[in-house]
Chains A and B, each alone.
Chain A
Amino acid sequence: MMTHLILDMAYSLRLLRKSPSFTALCVLVLAGGLAVSLFTFAFLYTLTNKPLPLPDQSSLYRASRDWYGEAFGESRYLPAYEAAAIRQQATVFKEHGIWQNKTVYLSQGENNLVVSAVRSTANIFDISRSGPLLGRLLHPRDSQPDQTPVAVISYAIWQSQFAGNDEVIGKQIYINDVATEIVGVMPKGYRFPISHDLWLPISQQLLHPLSTQREKVELFGRLKPGVSREQAQQQVLSLAEQSFSQRAETWPGVELIRAKVDIFQRFDVSTEMKIFSYAMNMLAFFILVLAAINVGNLLFVRAIQRNRESAIRIALGAPQWRLISQLMWEGVIITVLGTSIAVFISSVLLHAVNIYFRSLMNNELAFWYIWEMDVTVFSAALAFAVATIVIACFWPAFRAARQDFNRVLRDGTRGAQSKHAGFMSRLLVTLQISAISIIMVLGAVISTKVHNLTDMDLGYDVKGISFSIVELPESAYPENTDKSLFFERLQRALFNSQAFSGATVRFNHSQLPVAVGGVEYQRDADKPKVQVFSMIGSSEFMGPTLVAGRELDSRDGSGRAPAVLVSSSMAKRYWPNDSPIDKQIEVSLQAKVLRLNIVGVVSNTTNNPFHKKESYHEIYLSGLQFPMQRGTVFFEKTSAGVLVEDNFFRAINAIDSKLDILTIEDWELEADAIGKMTVTFRDTIVICGVFSLILAMSGIYGITAFSVEKRSQEVGVRRALGATDRKIMGLFVRQGSRQLIIGLLCGCLISGLMMFGLSSIMAIPSVVYLVIYASVIVSLTLIVLAAVIIPARRAVNLLPAVALRYE
């Protein structure tokens, strides 16, 4: 049998060599489709599902819980005391630990740098099954207050700051001005848990089972064998509820809503991201289907053209499977070539993405985000190739092998197209119309959304702006006055610094119901929800800027009547013909119902790129009166040469040298990076869309034109019998229209269902959908009509005598 297969393969190779342009076209079409699908799959797989490059990674989980509170909205927040309770009582974990993300200022001699650090339990390395390259790991005793502060550094820091010196162990560095001894160096590539370069012991206070600390922590560990994610989730919720209920009075207006336990790397993947990933994979899948259908069309046409040869083989006793196998070989060779090219293209693109994202994200990507042609992606390529062989090779070969060969032998008509072949051609065209309409709708909707994001004006001037998120430990800053004092001092220190020309601190109280003065509300639910912020210091340098009235200042300090600023959108909505100044609004905040006097109107801004700032209502209270534990500090550098981190840490250390910050970012750079990524993403979708459209156009035109051309003799007969050109053209157009209508109906129905599923994240006005659907219908109608009319016109223009002899 092997010999026969080799003979068939050699024959197929000979046929492909004989038609180099056909071979090249098929290979390129397939390579394009496969490359798009493979790249999309690999890209999204890495973002959402890629296993951690750690031993025994599949049992590694993260856990937290979500709550809803007036002061926080819905958020994921596991306070340290709850984590401690869960750790003490949970039976679902084989081992567990906690960590806190921190950004610290590392000084060593003349060198200073901001480092992404983690304060964690000592078992973080055991749980991640990793050992040190040099020195030792953290030890539980390192968390004791009387111990010398120690740190484990990453391979990257060891190389960049210590030039890979083996004598680094025992050296002293300063972490936020605290002398710290280096006790270990981790191996290259180890950045667990996310993208960390420095591991520090966590405070003993946070670890104590009877801890009352409310600082946010992250819980992680390994589940016991046989424990399901759901079981773990249930236990975490029950323990969290138990712990939460004991301190419920310290969280007024807050309720626990759910617990989440998930595979480590999937923990932060949002539902929106999952939906988006699903949509993108569907888009890529349809492009692959389209490419496969196209190649299937081409191979089917070729198989039909070889009907006579197949008939001879049948007459000589070829069994059905041999005929199918022989007809498939060409497709298999094309698929193998196409897949090889696609794998190569995808590898290059993934490598480029790696470099691009790492440069944009300033090395802050999660450590497992490595876009590469790994075993899973390569297996996906093989799976795609097998699917392509089924769609583009087996099916057409199977259909072609079931032609009426006796008729072919008797008639001697080389391309005699049976009823089955005609049905197959029509089916393929209908499928193509469906597939391309889905791709066009999906592609247009996604690219419109992304385009809207690229053009989005959030109302901020981010030039020269950096921000830092600072969280004050509950133990050191228990009262509102402590918090407001710290943040006021920080804002002043930054504002008065030579390095910065503006500074403001903002607290996000999330969206809350607000009662507008003079309006009667039956229920709380009838009150409009607006975004509530409180702030310290003027935001004129970045926005929102004052439009009318006055800013919040020292007149609005603790003990004074609360004042408020409203956004222009809110002023326009609730006081369209009047000034809102001196009007009142009411809001429940921090367990108090506040009657607020409007003292100013500010410009519109939004934090959410999915919202339009003109319809997004915001109010601003004084941060001196309503501070929070966590605040975002915005500051504007005076010139490009300013060492932002250096000056910021100096300011913060002057107030509290023990304080870690969560993050410090250059907003301008970040916005620029996000903008670039969004534009790249939009352009990629547009390129994929154009590629698909070309595929579909050529496919639909090719197969329709072939079907029409095969009926040239019929055209001759009809003309010989007196049919007018118009009648013949009408016949073809009617038949083409049937396929168009069925294809469009299926495509619109499927895409409509997909759009319904995506509506929560797309939020595009209905009129845009109407325009998109109308454009898709019109453009596909034009393509199909052209594919019918041009070859039909050619057939009609043949002399009847020539057409009658057409073979």
Chain B
Amino acid sequence: MAKTLLDLNNISKSFFTEDIETKALKNIDLVVSQGEYVSLTGPSGCGKSTLLSILGLLDEASAGVYKLCDIDVTNLSRDQRAAVRNREIGFIFQSFNLISDLTVEENVMLPLTYNKAHQNIDMKNLAKEMLAKVNMGHRIKHYPAQLSGGQQQRVAIARALVNQPSLILADEPTGNLDSENATAVLEILDQLHRDGTTICMVTHDSRCVERVNRAVYILDGEICPSPPSPPLLPNTGAAPKPAKACKQAATLD
């Protein structure tokens, strides 16, 4: 049985506006094993993006315990969370979120510059390698504004992968793409899954849901006990590789 990568136990998130409490997430219990490909779906405002933010350590839960790679990350300091994010998590956003004043290569190198362990590695080569993986090796000196949406998203994927994270969090990765580019991006994600990467993806897109091996349906801040229909495994023609394990031991420095 695959090892647990992330474990949410009784996670709740509330927002307060003056005296009014809005519960975005209510007692979420979720376990994702290494190598799983999970989608988070649900109607607008159901709390899926909030859940993704908590998973990505961009936001803190109001209650509950969140363990990532067996480490309780619920109460980490800002810089400790930044370090975990940098090492263990890769983000893919709907709007790509590339930095417009950095070249493609520099955008991909960016996570490496925040990682103390990567001080002596050849960051440029690693970035080139990742860009080659997503077929963007020929555009390394370009700026994001010079690329199409699909190309930008591929660069964003390369950036998410450059630190070889344990977990990829994708927030509507195909939301801003035409169907051709969306298919290309999904194929890259499929390949990552096959290579053993754990992926959690927020999506409305049924084409995405069709490709994951577990769909989590959220409604009104709660995981729906009986999802509308079980997702089908895509027929990729090849069995997934062993899942990528967490890179770090049970301590945080």
Contact = CB atoms under 8 A, between A and B. Distances in A.
Interface of A: 1, 3-4, 7, 11, 14-15, 18, 308-309, 311-322, 405-406, 409-410, 412
B244 interface: no
Nearest to B99: A309
Contact of B113 (A4, A409, A412): A4
B101 A317 contact: no
A1 B118 CA distance: 10
Contact of A316 (B59, B86, B100, B119): B86
A410 B110 contact: no
A39 to B, nearest CB: 37
A409 B86 contact: no
Contacts of A11: 101-102, 106
A517 B49 CA distance: 98
Given A315-B97, A409-B97, A320 B113 contact: no
A4 B58 CA distance: 23
29 contacts: A1-B119, A3-B113, A3-B119, A4-B113, A11-B102, A14-B101, A18-B101, A309-B99, A309-B100, A311-B97, A313-B99, A313-B110, A315-B56, A315-B58, A315-B85, A315-B97, A316-B86, A316-B91, A317-B85, A317-B89, A319-B78, A319-B79, A320-B78, A322-B114, A405-B58, A406-B53, A409-B53, A409-B97, A410-B53
Nearest to B53: A406
Contacts of A318: 82, 86, 114
B97 A312 contact: yes
A319 B97 CA distance: 18
Interface string B82-98: 11111101010101011
Given A315-B85, A318-B86, A409-B93, 9 more contacts: A3-B113, A309-B99, A312-B97, A316-B86, A316-B91, A317-B82, A317-B83, A317-B89, A321-B79
A406 B114 contact: no
Nearest to B78: A320
A316 B85 contact: yes
A43 to B, nearest CB: 42
Q: Is the interface of A mostly helix, strand, loop or mixed?
A: helix
A410 B82 contact: no
A3 B122 CA distance: 12
Interface string B133-164: 00000000000000000000000000100010
Interface string B177-202: 00000000000000000000000000
Given A319-B114, A406-B58, A314 B82 contact: yes
Contacts of A320: 78-79, 82
Contacts of B49: 410
A320 B76 CA distance: 14
A1 B117 CA distance: 11
Which 5 pairs of residues, A with B, have the shortest CB-CB distance? Answer: A317-B86, A317-B85, A406-B58, A316-B111, A312-B97
A407 to B, nearest CB: 9
B115 interface: yes
Contacts of B79: 319-321
Contact of B97 (A4, A308, A322): A308
Contacts, number: 73
Contacts of A317: 82-87, 89, 111, 114-115, 163
A635 to B, nearest CB: 76
A7 B106 CA distance: 9
Contacts of A14: 101
B113 A319 contact: no
A318 B113 CA distance: 8
B101 A15 contact: yes
Nearest to B60: A406
A409 B84 CA distance: 19
Interface of B: 49, 53, 56, 58-59, 78-79, 82-87, 89, 91, 93, 95, 97-102, 106, 110-111, 113-115, 119, 159, 163
Contacts of B102: 11
Contacts of B113: 3-4, 7, 322
B111 to A, nearest CB: 5
Contacts of B87: 317
A329 to B, nearest CB: 13
B185 to A, nearest CB: 18
A786 to B, nearest CB: 34
Nearest to A323: B82
A311 B58 CA distance: 10
A405 to B, nearest CB: 7
Contacts of A409: 53, 58, 93, 97
A136 B78 CA distance: 74
Nearest to B89: A317
A308 B100 CA distance: 11
B101 A315 contact: no
Contact of A412 (B95, B99, B101): B95
Nearest to A309: B99
A227 B47 CA distance: 76
Nearest to B113: A4
A316 B159 contact: yes
A467 B110 CA distance: 77
A577 B49 CA distance: 95
B62 to A, nearest CB: 14
A192 B102 CA distance: 62
A406 B97 CA distance: 13
Contacts of B119: 1, 3
A321 B91 CA distance: 21
A18 B163 CA distance: 30
Contacts of A315: 56, 58, 85, 91, 97
Contacts of A3: 113, 119
A596 to B, nearest CB: 85
Given A11-B101, A406-B53, A406-B59, A316 B110 contact: yes
Nearest to A317: B86
A3 B123 CA distance: 11
A3 B119 CA distance: 8
A73 B200 CA distance: 91
A314 B114 CA distance: 10
A1 B119 CA distance: 7
A319 B83 contact: yes
A7 B110 CA distance: 10
Nearest to B102: A11
B109 to A, nearest CB: 8
Nearest to A318: B114
Nearest to A313: B110
B119 to A, nearest CB: 7
A316 B115 CA distance: 10
Contacts of B111: 316-317
Contacts of B98: 312
A661 B113 CA distance: 77
B247 to A, nearest CB: 13
Contacts of B93: 409
A15 B87 CA distance: 28
Contact of B114 (A15, A309, A316): A316
A3 B89 CA distance: 24
A403 to B, nearest CB: 12
B211 to A, nearest CB: 24
B115 to A, nearest CB: 7
B81 to A, nearest CB: 9
Nearest to B87: A317
A273 B181 CA distance: 76
Contacts of A313: 99, 110, 114
Residue from A3, A4, A14, A405 whose CB has the most chain B CB atoms within 10 Å: A4
